[in-house]
């Protein structure tokens, strides 16, 4: 009489050796993935990448919004919107000097972007 075996039930998030045997386990938690996605969303815009690059390329690592508008060829309100998104994501710090806003990179936060892919 042939014997039959039943595989253990597979539940969401479990890993079994029955498939390809590569043992996929770990990686980002849902919370970490959502946090990382929000950060990547902030930099996933060509204008924002240009702004980050332009600020990084300055001698002092900071730039005034008035100097950034010609770099990207957009109006000051549009550039300010993009800078606000980068500040809210923690990638830039904003400092008001007189009537102008100055922006500088937050190196630790940029490290968080690269850490996503390590």
Q: 43-87: per-residue pLDDT in tens?
A: 999 999 999 999 999 999 999 999 999 999 999 999 999 999 999
In 10 A of CB 84, how many CB atoms? 13
Name the H helices within 1-118.
Answer: 30-43, 46-56, 65-72, 76-88, 107-115
Residue 41 falls within a domain, yes or no? no
For position 87, what pLDDT does the model report?
96
Structural domain of residue 64, as residue ranges?
Answer: 46-115
Contacts of 56 (CB under 8 A, 6+ apart): 105
User: At 108, which CATH number?
Assistant: 1.10.10.10
Residue 6 falls within a domain, yes or no? no
Q: To 10 degrees, the CA torsion angle through 67, 70, 76, 81?
A: -90
Predicted confidence band of residue 27 (pLDDT cuts 50, 70, 90): confident
Which tens digit of pLDDT belongs to each residue from 58-69? 999 999 999 999
For position 22, what pLDDT does the model report?
64
For position 53, what pLDDT does the model report?
95
Going by C-alpha positions, the residue among 107, 102, 92 that lies closest to residue 63 is 102
Query: Percent of the chain beyond pLDDT 90?
Result: 59
Residue 31 falls within a domain, yes or no? no
Residue 90 falls within a domain, yes or no? yes
Q: In what order do the strands lie in the sheet with 62-64?
A: 62-64, 100-105, 92-97
For position 81, what pLDDT does the model report?
96
Under 8 Å between Cβ of 96 and 83: no
* Top-ranked range on mean pLDDT: pick from 10-14, 26-30, 98-102: 98-102
Q: Does the pLDDT of residue 42 top 90, yes or no? A: yes
- SS percent in the chain: helix, strand, coil, step 5: 45, 15, 40
């Amino acid at each position: 009489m042939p014997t039959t075996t039943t595989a253990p039930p597979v539940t969401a998030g479990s890993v079994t050796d029955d498939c390809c045997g590569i043992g996929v386990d770990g990686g980002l938690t849902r919370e970490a993935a959502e946090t990382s996605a929000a950060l990547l969303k902030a930099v996933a815009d060509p204008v924002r990448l240009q702004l980050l690059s332009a600020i990084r390329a300055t001698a002092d690592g900071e730039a005034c919004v008035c100097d950034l508008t010609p770099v990207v060829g957009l109006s000051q309100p549009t550039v300010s919107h993009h800078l606000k998104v980068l500040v809210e994501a923690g990638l830039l710090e904003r400092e008001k000097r007189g009537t102008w806003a100055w922006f500088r990179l937050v190196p630790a936060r940029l490290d968080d972007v690269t850490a996503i892919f390590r």
